[in-house]
Structures are given as structure tokens and as C-alpha cells.
Amino acid sequence: MHKLQTKIIVALASVMLMLTLVITLASLASFRDFSIRAATEHTRTAAEVIRVALTEAMLTGTIHQRDSLLERIASIHGLDEARVIRGAQVDLQYGEGLASENVADAIDLAVLSNGEPVFTLVGGFFSPEFRATIPYIASSQGDVNCLACHSVPEDTVLGAVTLTASIEHMKSAAILTVAFLVLAVVIFAIISIFFLRRLLQPLVNTANEIEVAVKAAIGGDFNHRIESRSNDEIGKIASQFNALSEGITKKLSDIRENVVQLVQSKPDYQGKNLLTETAETVSGLVHVSQFKQAIEEDETAPEVFQRISDVITQEFTLHSFSIYEVNSQKKKVRPVIVDNVPDANIHWCDPAIQDHCQGCRAVRTGHLIDGSENTAICRSFSHEALAEDKHYICLPILESGRVGSVVQLVFDAEESHRVRNQRPMLEAYLREAAPVLQAKRLMNSLRESSLQDAMTGLKNRRFLEEYAETLVSQCKRRKVPMTLLMMDLDYFKPVNDTHGHDAGDQVLRELAVLLQENVRESDLVIRYGGEEFLIVLLETDAHAAMSVAEKIRMAVEKHKFKVGGTSLSKTISAGLADYPNDGQAFWQVLKFADVSLYAAKEGGRNQVIRFHKEMWSEHDEY
């Protein structure tokens, strides 16, 4: 604002300077014009006096004394010279005159020639000498008849009088007058600048305070206020600025309070730009809202975990972290994503927590574990990571009061402050993810229950209908075989008829356990219906499947099924067909396995039959 004040004062000084210059030039020009006019009138009068005097001298016969007349006239104040030049017609009539009357310069000759008077400064524009050369023209009109004495035509130039006058005194007077005017203008300019400065000072002070307040506001400080120094527009500006600052402060405080409620943790604003930080926090909450909408539309929990991983890497620029899923029933922890890699091995913690979830302090306490300063707070943190001076923060995701997942952030010591400041916003993301993860797990559990046989705990036929194409796709992609083993308990109906349905259910449950114990964990055991079971042997051809089927058959044959207080011996029949040797479609292979089972039943039961093409007659339809 000091620059503005300086500019205004300089502008005013420039205007005053220009005004002074204009007044000076105008005054000088006016005084010059006035001096010339005055000198012109003065010389005209003197020339007329000379003319009259010469005429009277001619009439009285004293013309020969005209020199003394001219000397007396020249001695008049203001005149420096007075001389008469005779014209050629007068010389012809009266002969040559005095010697001084024959000394003519160019101006004299021009005036004698054209009869036009000349009034001019001698020696230049600012010369103090003024010259007037005025012709005497013969005329019969007027108070004196020139033609009575001169035998010349009308309007003949009889001669000219040249008068030189000094206007030095007028020039001096003009300079003094102009100097006085300039002095007056300068004094007026100084007084004007002084009062203008006094007038501008409140505006300058107000503007300076506004500048300081605006700079502070840019830094996030809206507490500066402007002093109202007057009741005019400047005072109104100060009052309105103060009202604006107070309004912004109040609104910003309200926003910050709302942010604290949404984030459920007060951000660290110390030494920071509050407006920028609050805006960034609100922007972050918008991202949280968009994140929530996205995960609600995701289909499974792994997709939600992947989005959390993306948020950690993209929004918070952290690349070392773990996301664990907690199985409270089995007391296990499973690493879902490690360093943005899905289903990676555990890296930043002791692997022992996978089978003992209580070894994780975040799971055990359900509270945030801050190892950003005290890295020894959790004893399950990786010793190798501690040796690398890594720090960590573990954030539990609570689902219905229990820890369902844990997000572990791992970082270097110099990043501790940044990560702690970012933690409240990450917690906002995790709070939004918690109910969605719980809902996804619940939906998955409901879906799993719909695909599971309630009595035996095995997969049911609906599961087979849903995943059959997936199984075939896996075999095609990995170029491996798959064998379907269809099994049916021999003479099961008498068990229900003799011992009741509860006994029959018990036999089926024991058979389900027996089947699972004799296949790999990767194989699928499915209750296909009633006492009929289907085993999907992945990456197994028909030859290897025959051995598995025989093993199961013998295990069933040796097993004693407990029914009430007694034991029963049962046998099982089996038929098998493999993909892709026996068929190119899942349900076709399943039909062939069922045909083989029928053959085993027809052939005496308690045996395993492998499908061959002769079993499928031309008239059978698939």
C-alpha cells in the first residue's frame, strides 16, 4: 500500500509540475504578446507624433531642423532610436536629404516598396529590443493634404520612420510575475500533497493491516482484525473485512468440529494451514464416501480388502503393510494382502500368529497398537523388521464388537509423524469398511450354507451346479485331468426301516467323515442325494482314481458304523469316469460315472467300476 501512496503523491506532484510548466509558458507567452502589443502602440504613437511634427515643420519652414526633432523624440523613455527614411519620390522633388535619411536596411526598403508596416523583435524570440518601421503614405484625405506639398500620386510611400524600443523592463516584470505564480503553485502543491498524505494515511494504514491479515489468512490464521479509523468508506471496509474474517473463522471452526466428529479423531493442525488442512480433510472424507459406495457394490470380501490396499498405496503412499483376516472360531489369522500382493506369505509379523490369533496384540486387545515410537509394544512384530529400524501401527477392524481384520502399516522412523497424522483418515476408511466386510462375510456364510448339506456338512448338489463350469475351466487352463467318483452305500434302505431314520442319518454322517479322511483336502466330497455321494478328484486321472476308490471301498467295508448300542457293517459301490478322456463336458462325465455306478450295483455291489464306451448304448441320451 505504501507503493500506492507513493504513486498517488508522485502523480499529484507530476500534475502540479505540469501545471507549473503550463502556467509558466502561458504567462511568458502572454507577457511577450502584451509587451509586443504595448510596444506597437507606443511606436505607432511616436511615429504619428513624428509625422505631425515633420508636417508642421514643412508648413512653418523649419524642416531643416528635423534632426534635432528626431533626437528629442528618441530621448523619450522607452525609445532607443528614431530615424526617418525618405522615399524616392521625395528625393526627386526636393533632392537628397540628410545623410541619416539615406541609410536604409532591408526592412526599410521593403516597407518603402510595399507600404506595409513591420513590427518585430530584433535578434530573436526572446530579444528585449522591439523595432517598428511605419510607412508615410501620401493622401489628400484627412486633416492634412499631403499632395499640397508633394507632387506625387495618391497613396505614394513618401518615406518611413523606424523606431527601436526596449522592452527589457517588461521582460523583467514578466519574469518576476511568473516566478511569483510558480512559487504560489509550488506552495499550493506542497500543501495539497501534505493534506492528501493526511487524507490517504487512514486508507494506507487500513490497507496495510488488510495485507497483513490476508497473508496470515493464507497461512490459515483468521484472527487478525482491522482497526476502524473513520465512519466513511474506509471505516466500512475495515468493518466488513472484520465481519468476513469472523464469519470465516466461525464457519471454519464448525467445519473442523464436523471433521472431528466424522474422523472421530482431532487432526494435528499445529503449525499448519488450517484452511488448507481442513479442505484436504473434507476432500479426504469425500473420497471415503466414494470408497464406501464402491465397496458396497463389490461382490466379495477379497475385493473390499483389495480396495483397502489400493487406498493405502495410492492415497497414503505406503507400500509396506499387511492386511490380516481373523477367524475367531478357529483362532487363526490369515494374511490376505501383504505389501499389496494378495495371498502372500506373512512377512511383517511372527508366522506363529497364523495359528494363534491371540498372539497379535491388536486382535487380543481390540485397540490400536501404536509402534511408531515404542516398537517393542507388540512382541509378535518381525525381529527382522525391528533390525531394519521399521516402525508400525496396527489398526483393528471391529465387526460386532470383535476384531474381524487387522491393517498393519509398516514404515521407517522418519515417516512416523506423517503416518500418525494420516492415521485418523485411514481409520475413517476402515470404519466404513467394517460393516461392509461383515455384510460380505455374512452373505458369503449364507451362500455357503445354501451350498452345504446341513446334515453331513458336505457340499451339496447346488454347489455342484454353481461351480461345475469353474472346475472344467481350471482343468482346461492348467491342462490337468479330473475324475468324478460316484458312490452309493449298499442296502441303505434296510437301515432306515430297521433302526429308524436317526440311525440312517448317523450312518451317513460317519460315512461323510470317512470319505473326507480318505481323500486330499483339495478334493471335493459332495452329498449328491440320499445315500449317494460324489467325489471330485482334481488333477487325477482314472488310473489313479481307481486306487483312491478302492481305498475308500475297503475303508467302508472295514468300518463299524455305531447305531445306538450296536454296530453295523456296510459296503459301498462306486463308478468313475474322467475328464477329458471320457467326455468333454462336466455333466456328460458325471452321467458316465453314474452309469458306471449302476454297473457296479448290477454286478454285485461292493466294487468299483471304471466307465468304458460299451456301457453307453446308442439309444441312451445325454
Which of the pair, 30 or 320, is modelled with greater confidence? 320
Say what the pLDDT of residue 260 is. Answer: 64
Closest by alpha carbon to 534, among 547, 515, 561, 520?
515
Instruction: Specify the 3-state DSSP secondary structure of 186.
Output: helix
Give tens-digit pLDDT for 475-532.
998 899 999 999 999 998 888 888 888 888 899 999 999 999 999 988 999 999 888 9
Place of cell 502523480: 11
More reliable by pLDDT, 385 or 447: 385
Check residue 463 and give its pLDDT: 86
In sequence order, the β-bridge partners of residue 567 are: 562
pLDDT top residue among 29 and 134? 134
Q: Would you state the pLDDT for residue 578?
A: 94
Q: What is the pLDDT of residue 121?
A: 80
Q: Are 23 and 182 in contact, with CB atoms under 8 Å apart? A: yes
pLDDT of 1 strictly over 60:
no
Look at residue 415 in the predicted model and tell me its pLDDT: 93
Question: What integer is the mean pLDDT of 75-88?
Answer: 74
Q: Give the amino acid at 599.
A: A
Mean pLDDT of 591-614: 92
Over residues 459-476, mean pLDDT:
87
Rounded to an integer, the average pLDDT of 195-206 is 74
- Answer yes or no: are the C-beta atoms of 484 and 589 closer than 8 Å: yes
SS3 category, 589: helix
pLDDT at 227 over 90: no
Higher pLDDT residue, 75 or 495?
495
Task: Give the neighbor-by-neighbor strand order of the sheet with 482-489.
Answer: 524-529, 532-538, 482-489, 572-579, 608-610
Question: In whole numbers, what is the pLDDT of the chain averaged over residues?
Answer: 82
pTM, full prediction? 0.51
| pLDDT for 176 | 80
CB atoms within 10 A of CB 524: 19
Residue 274's pLDDT is 63
Q: What is the pLDDT of residue 618?
A: 39
Reduced to 3 states (helix: H, G, I; strand: E, B; else coil), residue 563 is: strand
Q: Which domains does the chain have, with CATH numbers?
A: 34-172 (3.30.450), 295-444 (3.30.450.40), 461-615 (3.30.70.270)
Comparing 176 with 266, the larger pLDDT belongs to 176
- Residue-level pLDDT at 621: 47
Residue pLDDT, tens place only, 324-357: 999 877 788 999 999 999 989 998 999 999 988 8
% residues pLDDT > 70 (the chain) = 87
Q: Indicate the range of 37-46, 67-76, 209-218, 521-530 predicted with least confidence.
A: 67-76
CA–CA separation, 192 and 218 (whole Å)? 38
Of all residues in the chain, what percent are helix, strand and coil, respectively (each to 5)?
A: 55, 20, 25
Give the CB-side neighbour count of residue 76, counting CA atoms within 13 A: 19
Query: How many CA atoms within 13 Å lie on the side-chain side of 185?
Result: 19
Average pLDDT for 219-234: 75
SS3 (DSSP) at 139: coil
Give the long-range contacts of residues 421-426, CB within 8 A, separation 24 or more.
421/267, 421/268, 422/316, 423/265, 423/393, 423/395, 424/263, 424/264, 424/265, 424/266, 424/267, 425/263, 425/281, 425/284, 425/285, 425/288, 425/315, 425/316, 426/311, 426/312, 426/316, 426/395
Cell, residue 313: 498405496
pLDDT at 622: 42
The string over 450-485, giving b where at least 16 C-beta atoms fall within 10 Å of a residue's C-beta and e elsewhere, is ebbbeebebbbeebbeebbeebbeebeeeeebbbbb
Least confident segment among 201-215, 380-394, 451-465, 596-610 = 201-215
Rg (CA), the chain: 62
Question: Which run of H or E residues covers position 122?
Answer: strand 118-122
Other beta carbons within 10 angstroms of residue 258's beta carbon come to 14
Q: Which residues of 362-400 are buried (b: 16+ CB within 10 A; e: fewer)?
A: bbeeeeebbbbeeeeebebbbeebeeeebbbbbbbbbbe
Q: Are 350 and 408 in contact (CB under 8 A)?
A: no
**Rounded to an integer, what distance in angstroms lies between the CA atom of residue 321 and that of residue 45?**
116
| pLDDT tens, residue by residue, 435-454 | 888 887 777 666 666 678 88
**DSSP notation for 359-399:** GSHHHHH-S-EEETT-TTS-TTB-HHHHHTTEEEEEEEEEE
Q: What is the pLDDT, as a whole number, of residue 38? A: 77
How long a stretch of residues is the chain?
622
Per-residue confidence band for 268, with pLDDT thresholds at 50, 70 and 90: low
Joined together, the cell numbers standing for residue 144 give 492634412
Cell of 506: 448317523
530 sits in the region (left: phi over 0; alpha: psi -120 to 50; else beta) called: left
pLDDT, position 446: 62
pLDDT at 74 over 70: no
541 by DSSP, 3-state: which? coil
168-218 vs 2-60: helix axis angle to the nearest 10? 170
pLDDT computed for residue 100 by the predictor: 65
Question: For the segment 546-568, what is each residue's pLDDT rounded down to a tens digit?
Answer: 999 999 999 999 999 988 778 88
Higher-confidence residue of 105 and 312: namely 312
pLDDT at 346: 92
SS3 46: helix
Amino acid at 134: I
* All three cell numbers of 3: 507503493
Q: At 609, phi and psi to the nearest 5?
A: -120, 130
